[in-house]
Amino acid sequence: MKQTLQSILTASDAALFPDISKSCNQNSVLCITESDVFRCNEEIAVFLQDPDFQNRLCKQDFVDILFVLKGNCTCKFYKTDLTIAPESVFLSRHSFCMIPHQVIHSFSPDHDCQILHIFFKLDSLRSHYSDLISANNALLLFFSNMLYQSHYWNYLYFSVSYTDKLDTLLAEMYEEFYRKQIYHQNMLYYSSGTLFTLMERQLFSQISVSPSNPLRLVRYDQIYSYICDNYPMTSARKIAEYFHISQSYLCKLFHENGTTVTTVIQEIRLQQTRSLLEQSDLSIQNIAELVGYHDLTYFIKLFKRNFSITPYQYRKKYQSAKNLSQSTES
């Protein structure tokens, strides 16, 4: 019979976080580094919050996903200027809260509150998050913004239905980290994917973010419109930077729509090429540069591969058809 997470925590000497808090000045911001949390080759860590660690300003250089196991907790999130009143979030039992790196915050838990923290190294999340999160939704966008924007200030929280599956999963993650058996990081990585999937299932009904910095879902049609407006100079890298998403997620989004980023950019450029050939007297060289191609030989080969004739032949054929139509009408 599998143990529940509560029974595991009760039976063991809980792995508490952070041990370093007691020796620090309570009036300053506690900066918690990866070396304070992760041992050699660890990318994911799981801790129970130290009951003595409360009302303490802190920030960390890794990502914190916390889960309220028992009781209630108020989290306060501060801008860089600590004189400005913080945003307060009330987290009830069975609530998740995701806190990005470098966001100053504090916890005010009830006396019987228990909080489980799952910490992720930034480099690990940047490498794997688009594989761990399957859908184009606010969870994925939050991670994209958090990992690729400089000075990203936001947080995300939501309540979940605490099922046996979630209890078992969190219990297994805690035990894997606590016992540190061989390949425990591999197990934590795969469990994280399951955890994010369970989050996604309840995402749309109960998700909340900072009211001062709401999320915007990135859709394929938004990116397509952006390419239409910026086709001469754009690229997959520039698109990803503009929308604050990874290139791997960008490619995944286009693949789901049956195409690629390069194909769409190329199609739009060639559509514009045909319009310019039909409606202007610009030289082929000028048209190539206007639509984003500076190698004339490559541009001509690309055009011929798609339309079976060269740009010059296309213009000549169009003009002949136009002249014939006009003479017929007259």
Could you say which of 175, 209, 243 is where a domain stops? 209
H or E stretch covering 257: none
pLDDT of residue 240: 81
CA dist 311 → 54, 279, 296, 320 (Å): 70, 13, 11, 14
* Residues 125 and 12 both lie in one domain: yes
Render 104-122 in DSSP notation, one character per residue.
EEEEEE-TT-EEEEEEE-H
Read off the pLDDT band of 213 (50, 70, 90): low
Distance CA 63, CA 76 (A): 16
Is residue 327 one of the residues assigned to a domain?
no
Read off the pLDDT band of 249 (50, 70, 90): confident
Q: State the average pLDDT over residues 300-329.
A: 88
Query: Cis omega before residue 311 (within 30°)?
Result: no
Is residue 102 one of the residues assigned to a domain?
yes
> What is the number of other CB atoms lying within 10 angstroms of the CB of residue 157?
20
Which of these ranges, 59-73, 244-258, 292-306, 310-324, has the smallest mean pLDDT?
A: 244-258
* Residues 205 and 236 both lie in one domain: no
What backbone phi and psi angles, to 5 degrees, belong to 202? -110, 10
Is residue 214 one of the residues assigned to a domain?
no
Q: What is the mean pLDDT of the chain?
A: 83
Is residue 206 within 8 Å of residue 139, measured between CB atoms? Answer: no
Read off the pLDDT band of 219 (50, 70, 90): low
Please give the structure tokens belonging to residue 253: 């989004």
* High-pLDDT (> 90) share of the chain, %: 40
Q: State the average pLDDT over residues 121-146.
A: 73
Any bridge partners for residue 107, and if so which? 75
* pLDDT over threshold 90, residue 121: yes
| Predicted TM-score of the model (pTM) | 0.64
Which of 98, 97, 148 has its CA nearest to residue 122?
A: 148
Distance CA 255, CA 244 (A): 18
Name the domain count of the chain. 2
* High-pLDDT (> 70) share of the chain, %: 82
Convert the pLDDT of each residue in 278-302 to its tens digit. 999 999 999 999 999 999 999 999 9
Which of these ranges, 22-31, 57-66, 103-112, has the smallest mean pLDDT?
A: 22-31
pLDDT of residue 27: 64
User: What's the CATH code of the domain at 111?
Assistant: 2.60.120.280
pLDDT of residue 298: 96
* Residues 203 and 244 both lie in one domain: no
Provide the domain limits for residue 282.
220-319
Is residue 326 one of the residues assigned to a domain?
no
Q: State the average pLDDT over residues 23-45.
A: 83
